[in-house]
Amino acid sequence: MTEEERDDLIDLIPQGMTVWADEEELDHFRHATLRWWRENLGHPASGPTHFCCKTCGCGGTCLLGAFEDALITSVVRELDRLGALRKPEGS
């Protein structure tokens, strides 16, 4: 898969998904979205995307936003490397 195709997949990840590792506790932590984590870690988003942070400002300067981008991109790249991804329908 090309980097552009991986980016297209990343764009399909829901912004409001629960970010919690333990399947048994998942029902109790449905509120733990990325927005919730950002608020609780002191880097709330100030716009519709993670590129603007009330603490750090806009333009990709937020360390939490940069970490989020790197983490998601790395996971998608590794899943692609393992052959665990497929192109979205219509691509």
Q: In this structure, is residue 88 part of a structural domain?
A: no
pTM over 0.95: no
Range of the domain at 15: 3-81
Number of domains making up the chain: 1
- Mean predicted lDDT score pLDDT of the chain: 87
Q: In this structure, is residue 91 part of a structural domain?
A: no
Percent share of the chain, pLDDT over 70: 93
Q: In this structure, is residue 86 part of a structural domain?
A: no
**Neighbour-count burial for 57-91, b at 16+ CB within 10 Å, e otherwise:** eeeeebebbeebeeeeeeebeeebeeeebeeeeee
Q: Per-residue pLDDT for 6 more than 70?
A: yes
Q: What is the pLDDT of residues 34-47, one digit of tens each?
A: 889 989 999 988 87
